[in-house]
Chain A
Amino acid sequence: MSSDRQAQPEAHAPLGPPQLSVGALGWMRANLFNSWYNAILTVAASWLILVAGWNFFRWSLLDAAFGLTPDTCKGIDGACWSFIADMWPLFIVGTYPFEERWRPYLCLIVLGIMTLGLFFGAVRGNKIYRYAWAIAPVVVFLVIRGVPVFGLETVDTSFWGGLVLTLILSIVGIVVSFPIGILLALGRRSTSMPIVKALCVGYIELIRGVPLITVLFMASVMLPLFFPSGFDLDKVLRAQIGIIMFAAAYVAEVVRGGLQAIPRGQQEAAASLGLNFWQQMVLVIMPQALRIVIPPLVNTAIALFKDTSLVTIIGLFDLLAIASLASANPDWLGKIIEAYVFTAAIYWIFCFGMSRYSMYLEQRFKSGQT
């Protein structure tokens, strides 16, 4: 009996894994059809992707018109990209004088190249590169505003618009609000100066509690009342002041988070070395605290970039306002969807790029490779 059991089974070539558990089929079974409701979800999602994707593809490419004149869009079902091909300079530089448009273009190209440098460690560490970023806002402002001495005609801010205005408002906003935010954060954390602390807390909580549009209304309507009559404050400058006031409160909270993460011992050690308060801050605390807050700071910058679109409401011609303006052009009447899709794409590229950069930084800080 026992010998029966121990009889050698027939020699058998090793079997391959079951067909349904490896390869593309196996992956689909594990990830798309692993239960009945997941199968239903997969079918529904595929249907959604196919219908939406196909319609978008048809609208944006298949049935779309790619030309330069309004005639090319006659009898076209899809998107009229001719409109964008014809009007894109308006989206980029707004109503900036035609002969002078090379100035904002030049600024955009140079800034774009400088941004690429961020991705190369060797360039990023370079001192000249850092100084270039430090003076960039001023140079850009001068080139776009114009310096008659250098033969650059002055261009009034009422002609500024489009992506260039959006970029100026957000870059200047974040750069100027940064030091103000640091001061507010330090004031809020102060233990020896209760009055200063109360003022800082009051300011931060007031600004964070109200929507940006009320701050912008305040800057555009109330600010002129605060100055002696006859003192004319530029419209763009007023919006810029509102944006800076708003951003400073948010930057302050971000910086405060960084300061809280630095152990007390750091400041006590710095103090015991005989450094005074500002030396402690500049040499010991801030370099550590600011490095932690770079990712959340980039998020603040993204939010600010999106928020600059609100200046449309107080009558500036930023990228979003230009989209409405361009589609009101009699030649291109009703091309509003194209205008918004194009504008959304520009906003999206900037915001998505920044958010990926912040993730990349976060990853680097996590692995401690800085």
Chain B
Amino acid sequence: MHYSWHWQVLLEPEPGGTGTYLHYLIVGLGWTLATAAAAWVIALVIGAFVGTVRTTTARWAVRLGNFYVEIFRNIPLIVQMFLWFFVVPEFLPEELGNWIKQMPPPWGSYLPAVMCLGIFTSVRVAEQVRAGIGSLPRGQRMAGTALGLTQAQTYRYVILPQAFRIILPPLTSETMNIIKNSSVALTIGLLELTGRARAMQEFSFRVFEAFTAATVIYLLTNLVVVLVMRVVENRVRVPGLIAAGGAPQAGH
């Protein structure tokens, strides 16, 4: 069995008339990154908040946080995509729902995809934040109390600055996860990198060239993320404070 490669296809024009296939894929990468970046902001804000709340002494807040985490952790990502895309607009006030449904492409897919990925990832961030706070010695919190700080002040000045540094390595892998997971948005019609590789395969019949190109682009993107996060880790490192290696975790 033999497959004849035809790499020049990347430089041939795509049928939409926007340029070469390579350009078409790079624009796809742009959408992948735009989706991942916006979702990452949502995930960090909500995740940091929910994760922190779950370590406080307010029991109702802990329960609420646990409930939030369990809901969004136990529904598959693609099903959550469909919920945000097909179901949520029906339950919004009619005008708002219609406005979302009538948004021109790709915004009609982009907005639900960002919400979905953001909330989905916020749960994973919340787990990391909680674990990071939990890994700090209990004396840190007691010292805060002994100094006369309130609970909020203890978190602000003692706990969180350390916890965030500890969880930087797992957050790096979450950054790569959110980029990878954004590919699920193709199921609601967002033409990001994987979606465009699939479309290119359909237009040009060059299956393996399209998927190889997408794979290489993803690998390069991961490399950039790792390098950037390494710079961030070095920037914020406190001399003498060594982040502990994490236990093995299930993931995807």
Is chain B found bound to chain A in the same assembly?
Answer: no
Chain B positions within 8 Å of A, measured between CB atoms, are none
Chain A positions within 8 Å of B, measured between CB atoms, are none
